[in-house]
């Protein structure tokens, strides 16, 4: 089993930070929504990718655009308005979610009836016009857009294709399906792989003709391109593609042949799967992981990246992991901010030392990813040479205007991502389009206006409870012109985000609570909104106010499990304990009932 000392050290650092979040390290530590480095001269300086100039160093990450297209695969209005909102918000480069180029080969990318749930790019007038509209709309706001292409999902595709189409999923070798390991994936023939390569060239030519500014290959996270270009998955012994670098290199060469020397080609790659470093010898000895023990090392990946540059790649974004260690490429709340900056730095240093240049004669920009939605940290990463550009995914779901607000120094107004993964990752897994727990407009920009319309009739509204729901509702109602009074029985706003942000690893929730405080104070000054803290209300008091509407946003109340004899044992609710550790008294041992998120975080905190 091969392991990389650098990757092992980095993975270990996440655990060390988790147990000691006071420790600030090169991975970024606790992200803070501060503006100590403002103005952000590095982040908002232009950069050139081949012959294409990008106005700033901010890239919108690719996030699956499932359920955002017509049955033909043409981008629908939902998808257009979703991207237009981020372009208007000031990001320099937008990348789309993955667009398969392997229809008819990878059976997992279509629904029963041969309908696409992914967008697709082809030469039909209908589909072509949709991409042209998207490109033109993005350009109207001064942004550029790259389309992300994927040869397919392979072993991480939906195994329902076996039931719906009587066809097995496919892969580089006879790999087990990720979701149902008992289902084998059929090994793709060289003939079909060459067909995918030709499809990639055609898709790149179609994208260029539609006005898309560049193409972006998804060679990461264990999708089919990664399966073909990583010896962990590609265990072929015969044929052209037994050389695990060959498929990716041939694909880039074909794309470059079709689009010419000046059209940008971007490549997404992981420096390492980090499976061995994540699970260790014992974990990797068990099926199905034991098949994947011989993944690319750092040196092998860097050599492959240099060969991709020679083939025609102009820019990379790089991180770690795959579906089999899902938490790594999708760092949740609790992971340190800037968790992959060391990864991008390794590539930057290698390319600088070896003088790697693109075929167009330019330096090859390296894009950093992974919890970088903190303006000071993003600026520092570029200034200190960890990367050339910063990729933002979930932060732009939470607030499309992140770039504009950072540029103008309004950092406190940025709605921060809380790392919950409810509206983004979970929606994707369940077949939905991108959404966000702290931004109800995400994915519904085509329905909900950017600014709420003024009310036809001004109402006097009482809102009871100053948790996130009560605060956001009060601000929105006040913006519409209503007269709003917000009542909170405690002395501070935030509701359950107050105990929820006590563990230091929950810094994202703490950032969100501070944002709510700032926006509520701002709204008090600008609108007819009054906040009453330390103000418990009852029906009599509410009736005296002569309100047109009363909204209760008091949240949920914890329940006690029906345990016999519980009344004879000292017990406390987790949220009360987080707010008042003294409730434990002199207890030496504690039993936590409930292993959900609150229970686990309380156990960690104790």
Please count the residues of the chain. 606
Instruction: Please answer whether residues 104 and 111 qualify as being in contact, where contact means their C-beta atoms are separated by less than 8 angstroms.
Output: no
Q: What is the pLDDT of residue 417?
A: 97
pLDDT beneath 50: ranges in the chain: 25-27
Break the chain into its structural domains and give their ranges: 52-102+116-151+191-272+299-429, 460-552, 566-605
311 Cβ partners below 8 Å, 6+ apart? Answer: 249, 252, 253, 256
Asked if 52-102+116-151+191-272+299-429 and 460-552 have one fold, the answer is no
Over residues 82-108, the pLDDT tens digits come to 999 999 999 999 999 999 998 889 888
Instruction: Please answer whether residues 309 and 358 qualify as being in contact, where contact means their C-beta atoms are separated by less than 8 angstroms.
Output: yes
Calculate Rg over the CA atoms of the chain.
Answer: 26
Start-to-end C-alpha separation, the chain: 36
- The span from the CA of 106 to the CA of 19, in Å, is 43
> What is the distance, to the nearest Å, from the Cα of residue 581 to the centroid of all Cα atoms in its chain?
34
Angle among Cα 598, 602, 604 to the nearest 5 degrees reads 120
Q: What is the pLDDT of residue 28?
A: 54
Q: What is the pLDDT of residue 26?
A: 42
Torsion of CA 123, 129, 130, 132, to 10 degrees: 100
Distances (CA, A) of 140 to 42, 131, 402: 24, 14, 18
Active site residues: 223
- Per DSSP, the three-state class of 485 is strand
Distances (CA, A) of 382 to 161, 349, 369, 507: 44, 13, 12, 23
This prediction has a pTM of 0.95
Which sign, positive or negative, has the C-alpha torsion 420, 423, 428, 431? Answer: positive
- The span from the CA of 179 to the CA of 112, in Å, is 19
CATH of domain 52-102+116-151+191-272+299-429: 3.20.20.70
Instruction: Please answer whether residues 219 and 269 qualify as being in contact, where contact means their C-beta atoms are separated by less than 8 angstroms.
Output: yes
Q: What are the structure tokens assigned to 560, written together? A: 């006690």
Pick the CATH number of 460-552 from 3.40.50.740, 3.40.1080.10, 3.10.20.30, 3.40.50.720: 3.40.50.720
Q: What is the pLDDT of residue 22?
A: 65
Q: What is the pLDDT of residue 27?
A: 45
- The span from the CA of 80 to the CA of 208, in Å, is 18
Instruction: Please answer whether residues 435 and 58 qualify as being in contact, where contact means their C-beta atoms are separated by less than 8 angstroms.
Output: no
Q: What is the pLDDT of residue 2?
A: 67
DSSP assignments along 61-112, one per residue:
PP---TT-B-TTS-B-HHHHHHHHHHHHTT-SEEEEEEEES-TTTSGGGEET
- The span from the CA of 380 to the CA of 601, in Å, is 30
Q: Choose among 264, 279, 375, 259: nearest CA to 309.
A: 264
- The span from the CA of 150 to the CA of 130, in Å, is 19
Find out whether the peptide bond into 39 is cis, omega within 30 degrees of 0: yes
């Amino acid at each position: 089993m091969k392991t990389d000392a650098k990757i092992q050290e980095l993975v270990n650092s996440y655990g060390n930070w988790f147990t000691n979040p006071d420790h600030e390290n090169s991975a970024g530590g606790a992200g803070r929504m501060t503006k100590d480095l403002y103005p952000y001269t590095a982040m908002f300086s232009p950069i050139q990718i081949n012959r294409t100039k990008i106005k700033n160093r901010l890239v919108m990450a690719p996030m699956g655009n499932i359920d955002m297209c017509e049955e033909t695969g043409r981008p629908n209005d939902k998808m257009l308005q979703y991207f237009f909102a981020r372009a208007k918000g000031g990001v320099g480069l937008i990348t789309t979610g993955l667009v398969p180029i392997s229809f008819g080969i990878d059976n997992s990318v279509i629904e029963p009836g041969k309908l696409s749930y992914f967008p697709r790019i082809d030469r039909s007038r209908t589909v072509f016009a949709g991409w042209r509209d998207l490109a033109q709309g993005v350009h109207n706001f001064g942004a550029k857009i790259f389309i992300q292409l994927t040869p397919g999902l392979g072993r991480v595709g939906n195994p329902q294709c076996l039931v719906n189409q009587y066809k097995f999923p496919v892969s580089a070798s006879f790999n087990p399906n990720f979701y149902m390991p008992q289902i084998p994936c059929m090994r793709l023939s060289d003939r079909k792989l060459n067909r995918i390569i030709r499809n990639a060239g055609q898709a790149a030519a179609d994208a260029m003709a539609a006005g898309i500014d560049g193409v972006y290959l998804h060679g990461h996270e264990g999708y089919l391109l990664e399966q073909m270009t990583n010896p962990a998955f590609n265990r072929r012994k015969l044929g052209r593609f037994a050389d695990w670098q060959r498929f990716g290199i041939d694909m880039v060469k074909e794309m470059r042949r079709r689009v010419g020397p000046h059209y940008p080609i971007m490549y997404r790659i992981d420096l390492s799967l980090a499976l061995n470093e994540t699970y260790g010898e014992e974990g990797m000895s068990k099926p199905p992981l034991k098949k994947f023990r011989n993944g690319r090392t750092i040196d092998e990946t860097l050599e492959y990246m240099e060969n991709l540059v020679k083939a025609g790649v102009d820019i990379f974004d790089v991180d770690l992991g795959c579906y089999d260690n899902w938490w790594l490429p999708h760092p949740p709340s609790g992971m340190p901010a800037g968790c992959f900056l060391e990864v991008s730095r390794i590539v930057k240093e290698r390319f600088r030392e070896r003088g790697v240049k693109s075929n167009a004669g330019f330096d090859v920009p390296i894009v950093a990813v992974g919890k970088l939605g903190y303006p000071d940290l993003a600026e520092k990463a570029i200034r200190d040479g960890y990367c050339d550009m910063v990729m933002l995914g979930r932060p732009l779901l939470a607030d499309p205007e992140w770039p504009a607000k950072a540029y103008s120094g309004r950092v406190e107004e940025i709605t921060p991502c809380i790392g919950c993964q409810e509206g983004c990752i979970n929606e994707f897994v369940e077949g939905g389009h991108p959404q966000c727990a702290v931004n109800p407009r995400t994915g519904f920009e085509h329905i909900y206006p950017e600014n709420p319309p003024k009310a036809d009739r001004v109402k006097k509204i009482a809102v009871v409870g100053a948790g996130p729901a009560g605060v956001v509702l009060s601000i929105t109602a006040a913006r519409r012109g209503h007269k709003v009074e917000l009542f909170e029985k405690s002395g501070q706003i935030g509701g359950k985000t107050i105990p929820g942000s006590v563990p230091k690893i929950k810094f994202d929730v703490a950032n969100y609570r501070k944002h709510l405080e700032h926006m509520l104070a701002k709204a008090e000054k600008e609108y007819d909104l009054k906040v009453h803290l330390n103000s418990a209300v009852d029906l009599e008091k509410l009736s005296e106010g002569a309100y047109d509407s009363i909204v209760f946003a008091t949240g949920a109340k914890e329940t006690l499990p029906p345990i016999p004899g519980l009344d004879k044992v000292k017990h406390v609710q987790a949220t009360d304990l987080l707010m008042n550790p003294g409730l434990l008294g002199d207890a030496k041992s504690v039993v936590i009932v409930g292993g959900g998120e609150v229970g686990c975080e309380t156990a960690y905190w104790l």
